[in-house]
Structures are given as structure tokens and as C-alpha cells.
Amino acid sequence: MDLTILYQITLTVSILATGLVAGIFFAFSNFVMQALARLSPNEGIRAMQAINVTVLNPWFLGTFLGTGFVAIGAAAFLYFGVADDHFALMISASGLYNCGVITVTTSFNVPLNNRLEKLDAESTDAHDFWQVYLRKWLFWNHVRTIAAAAACISLVVATFI
């Protein structure tokens, strides 16, 4: 296969995947977490615990983690001269996604999820933590949403200018 075509496929997959991830995070920031916050703490905690288990599936994890690798791959094509598009935009997209999405998730959202998972939804400790969890988790989710959207925009701009 021609490397230029492989680059174009990689770039297209990167745009689609960063857009999908940004959309997932946007949905959580825009309405999912607000809906969970309207439930009683017991119900909200149990619902989020269930979400945190079901999100660990091949489709989500493949898209979430694979996007970081694909974005790096698209930038590598440019670095090695396969295409001469906008290298700075590609590096920006890769950095935004890998730092702003993957690193933020593993450093902030996952530890919050792990702590929530260990709590009994009926306990006072869980109810006290729930309000802290909602505030912190949502803040870091906003960061992930913006980073994924900005990565997607960088990729699109690199494609069309």
C-alpha cells in the first residue's frame, strides 16, 4: 500500500476517533453527570459504579487508547516525510490528546473512579465523597473534553489548510 494512502487513512481515523472521544466526554459534561447528581447519593453512586464497570470494554478502550497511538502515527508520517502537511498541527493534536485526555484520565478521573468503586453506596463516607467526586470528576472531564475537541480541530485544520 502506498504510504501516502496509509497516512490519509491514519489521519482520517485520528479525526474520527478524537471526535468520538470528545463527543463521549461532552455528553458526560453536558448531561450525564448532571443527571447522576439529581439522583439520591445512593442511586448516583451505584449508577456511576455501574458505568465505570461497563466502560471497560474493547470498543471504548480501543478507541480511547488507540486514538493516542494513531495520532502519534499520523505525526510520524509527517516527520519521516511521507506527507508534507502541517507537522506542528499534527504534533499539537497528538500532544493534546495524549496529555489532555489519556494523562488526565489516568491521573485524575481513574483514581476518583477507583476510590468511588471501593465505597458502599449506602455509607456516610460514600455520600460525603459523592459531592467531592462530582465536582472534581466533572472538572477533569471538562479538561478532557476540551483537549479531545482541540485535538480533533487541529487534525481537521491540518487536513484542510
The whole-number pLDDT of residue 98 equals 95
Output the tens digit of pLDDT for each of the chain's 161 residues. Answer: 677 788 888 889 999 999 999 999 999 999 999 999 999 999 999 999 999 999 999 999 999 999 998 888 877 877 777 666 677 888 899 999 999 999 999 999 999 999 999 999 999 999 999 999 999 999 999 999 999 999 999 999 988 87
The whole-number pLDDT of residue 89 equals 86
The whole-number pLDDT of residue 75 equals 77
The whole-number pLDDT of residue 83 equals 61
Which residues lie below 8 Å from residue 85, measured CB to CB, with a gap of 6+? 78, 158, 159
